[in-house]
Amino acid sequence: MVSYNTANPGYQGRMTSPQPRKRDAQATKARILEAAQSVFARTSYADAGIREIAARAGVSTTLLLQYFGSKAGLYEEALNLLVPLGDVLQTPRAQFGQALAEALLHSGDQKIRPTLMIPLAGGDSEAATIAARVMEERAIAPLAAWLGPPNARARALEIAAMATGLVTYTAYLPLRAHTGQDIAHMAAWFAQNVQTIVDNGAD
């Protein structure tokens, strides 16, 4: 592993990647963001370290900070990039529950799933403030608008609550392994209840 900011001066890493890599700020930024997403999704904000993200992107921490200003800045940009609901909101209303369930349970550890882990940021920390804003703007608000009255916001929050809970207990917490039956039961339960919220605007 090529590591920067550690005791390994001068080594260029030509063995692992034959090309010393061209200089391309945009591509580098993208690599950093990708690394940030995967690291922030796996550990909590406080546990995730700038050094690990930088190493995973094959960059020095300095460059990372130069591009994103601070760890918090990187966090915000990484979250914003996920645009959680984008695709799912395109599906027909009648299949929304099913579509969201599949997106949450089968997504390849990227895209939507991490977004639901945003709340895992913390309580009153700087990270929580950022996470709350992003969640509000990119998930709750669009979902509420899509749902429409009555009680748009409450219903959006209910869906978000179920989604966060589902991901938490199926993919995030290292609980004792679930059986296929358990997963199937939960998926069906989730899809149906979400769909009810979508359909039953008038309760």
8 Å CB contact between 162 and 193: yes
> 49 vs 149, which CB is nearer to DNA?
49
Q: Identify the residue whose tokens are 């429409």.
A: 148
Subset of residues 124 to 153 that bind DNA, contact rule: CB under 7 A: none
Which residue among 17, 43, 70, 192 contacts DNA (CB under 7 A)? 70
Task: Point out which residues bind its own copies (CB under 8 A).
Answer: 41-47, 117, 119-125, 128-129, 131-132, 135-136, 140, 151, 153-155, 157-158, 160-166, 168-170, 172-176, 178-179, 181-183, 185-186, 189-190, 193, 197
> 22 vs 176, which CB is nearer to its own copies?
176
* Smallest distance from DNA to CB 72, Å: 6
- Rounded Cα gap, residues 54 and 65, in angstroms: 9
Q: Is 43 in the site for DNA (CB under 7 A)?
A: no
DSSP 35-61: HHHHHHHHS-TTT--HHHHHHHHTS-H
Which residue among 36, 37, 40, 71 contacts DNA (CB under 7 A)? 71
Count the residues of the shown chain that bind DNA, applying the rule CB under 7 A: 27
Q: Is 165 in the site for DNA (CB under 7 A)?
A: no
* Smallest distance from DNA to CB 50, Å: 4
- Rounded Cα gap, residues 158 and 174, in angstroms: 24
Q: Residue 75 has which token pair?
A: 């966090």
The SS3 of residue 108 is coil
- At 91, the amino acid letter reads T
- Rounded Cα gap, residues 48 and 116, in angstroms: 17
DSSP annotation of 8 reads: -
Distance spanning both ends of the chain, measured CA to CA: 56
Which residue among 59, 99, 101, 120 contacts DNA (CB under 7 A)? 59
Binding site for DNA (CB under 7 A): 4-5, 8-10, 20-25, 28, 48-51, 58-63, 65-66, 70-72
